[in-house]
Amino acid sequence: MSTDVHRSFADRIAGLTEVQQRHLASLLKLKTERRTRPNERGELVAYVKLKNLESGWETQLRSRLESSLPRHMIPYGFKVVDSLPLLASGKIDRKRLASSSNEFEPEVLASGSGGVSPVGEVELALAAVWKEVLDCSTVSRDDNFFALGGDSIQSISVIGRLRAKGLRLKPSDFFAYPVLSDLAERVETTAQVQFEKVDPTVAGRLAPMQEWFFSQSIDNRNHWNISMLLEVRERIDPKKLEDAFKQVVANQSLLRSRFSEVGGHWSQRSGDLDWGRNFEFCDLSRFNENERIGKLERHCEEVQRSLDIESGVVVRFVYFRMAAPFGDRFLIVTHHLVSDWISIGILLEQASRVYEGGFGEEGNVGSIEEGIGYRDWIDGLSRWRAREGQSDFLFWRQNAQAITAYEESRMQMRESSVEKYSVFLSEDVTTDLLQNVHELFNTRPQDYLIAALVFALKNRTSEKRIFIDLEGHGREEFDPDLDMSSAIGWFTALYPLCFDTKDCRTLNDYLLMSKETLRSVPNGGIGYGALRYMGNSDKESVEMVRWENSEICFNYLGLS
């Protein structure tokens, strides 16, 4: 990977130098280096030797470069130097240039592309949210969301936080306008949407992933959970924390769901808040360390097994008081029927906002507004299926034909042959994967990961077509009135996809094939589940239910 990264970067430097020297040969000599900002994000920086230090030279240079180069090839900043170190051959000594801080400290005369501060209330608000979500120390108005390591999952978090500020963006805006200053122009003031909400207390239909869940042979349907045990590193008020999560559960009707089966068909409805079964305070401080750890582990296991989807216990919280100097622990357990990993982030964010709002003069816990809910999304997805699903069906039928051909020689998997295999990437490689390798082919991290997986499976099986089930976040924009950025639920889109490797010879071929195949999926894959599970036995759902699932499932959760 590093060889390809360095080669693509060298290509950028060569092209950049040629254009800049062609435009401004009479004004300066210019070379570039890879510079690291405080947030450890690689940027292009140009070293320049000026004939005359004229006022406005940087603006003139930048203007001409912007007329000839794509945005990602514009230098982050310009450094004026007295001389450029040379090799015996007369070429620029790039190593000395890159380490020149020890020999001379050229001044950055202008912050440059990627260094211009945001202007106006909207850009400043957007930049502040980017810093929070992407964990960046600085964000400029010319920064690209995806170049900073952002992805579609994180864009949802940005949308939700902007919504809390009264601002609105759509998920598709991030792909059409990834640069902050351009994206800011798409931001709208949140307006009251006239939307007929579904009554969550009335029994209603399930979402595609919920239907998938009940179609599986699962021994204990009550134990299919998402959980996390958090270390409390700062002193907090457990009672205010409880009140904060209580308000979120009261606001998010899905977290009070009850599921029932009638005639082989499952439905869901929201019940009343029964907080006594949702929150627990457990004091372990009086036990010694070994006893404390043992009781903590056993209690967590008991809570994991205590959910009951039919009686309405689908979420539980436990605050564990530990003895100093150990931090307290906070356990969150939700059934997967009512949440996904993005939902857990939303749950924490909303509870945090309520908790922080509780430090007013009167000590009252803050509040959050009730938005469009999961049941509204299910209803909207059903309407979208009836209105526009046919075009998606044509894609999935063509994909299924390739999968059917593959079925004849698919791998035979047995429970006894399953092994767990984990791979950990170094910090440098992870940074490259998330940020530094995407400009050449306009790729995303999952394009590389899928390419690697397909390449490995091709070599393992000798199959030209590789069939994989993929999971997407599912919060696609199919109705502009359905803003699900703050909603909790199981939105995941699960769909099969065939990767054809017959024309792949090099690793770049696999990468581009992966990218093009993923980009060909309509509407982020939500149509597959909607067509298969929401058709009431119409011809599309009857045909799709015969299609097999893959033995392999790929899920990219983005940055955590």
**How does pLDDT run across 126-182, given as a tens digit for each residue?**
999 999 888 888 888 888 888 787 877 788 888 878 877 888 888 888 888 888 999
**Average pLDDT of span 228-247:** 91
Straight-line distance from the first to the last Cα atom of the chain, in angstroms, rounded to the nearest whole number: 23
Amino acid at 249: V
User: What single string gives the DSSP state of each residue in 508-529?
Assistant: HHHHHHHHHHHHTSGGGGHHHH
> What is the crossing angle of helices 526-533 and 374-407, to 10°?
90
Which helix H or strand E contains 385, and what residues bound it?
Answer: helix 374-407
Residues 6 or more apart in contact with residue 527 via CB below 8 angstroms? 385, 389, 392, 393, 395, 396
pLDDT band of residue 194 (cuts 50, 70, 90) is low
The pairing of beta strand 315-321 with beta strand 328-335:
antiparallel
Burial of 128 (0-12, 13-18, 19+ CB in 10 A): middle
Instruction: Enter the CATH code of domain 2-110.
Output: 3.30.300.30
CA proximity to 474, closest of 365, 395, 401, 381: 381
The residue ranking higher by pLDDT, 323 or 149, is: 323
CATH of 125-189, picked from 1.10.3720.10, 1.10.1200.10, 3.30.230.10, 3.30.1330.20, is: 1.10.1200.10
Q: Maximum Cα–Cα distance for the chain, whole Å?
A: 85
Give the least confident one: 1-5, 136-140, 242-246, 265-269. Answer: 1-5
pLDDT band of residue 27 (cuts 50, 70, 90) is very low
Please report the pLDDT score of residue 15 as a whole number: 39
Q: What residues does each domain of the chain span?
A: 2-110, 125-189, 222-370, 375-555
Instruction: Using the structure block, give the residue that is written with the tokens 């019940």.
Output: 271
Please give the CATH architecture assigned to the domain spanning 222-370.
2-Layer Sandwich (3.30)
**How does pLDDT run across 397-451, given as a tens digit for each residue?**
888 777 655 554 455 556 566 677 888 888 888 888 888 888 777 888 999 999 9
Give the least confident one: 243-252, 312-321, 402-411. Answer: 402-411
pTM score, whole prediction: 0.71
Please report the pLDDT score of residue 55 as a whole number: 62
Cα(154)–Cα(28) distance, integer angstroms: 41
Instruction: Enter the CATH code of domain 375-555.
Output: 3.30.559.30
- The answer to whether domain 125-189 and domain 222-370 are alike in fold is no
Residues 6 or more apart in contact with residue 528 via CB below 8 angstroms? 208, 392, 396, 493, 494, 495, 496, 544
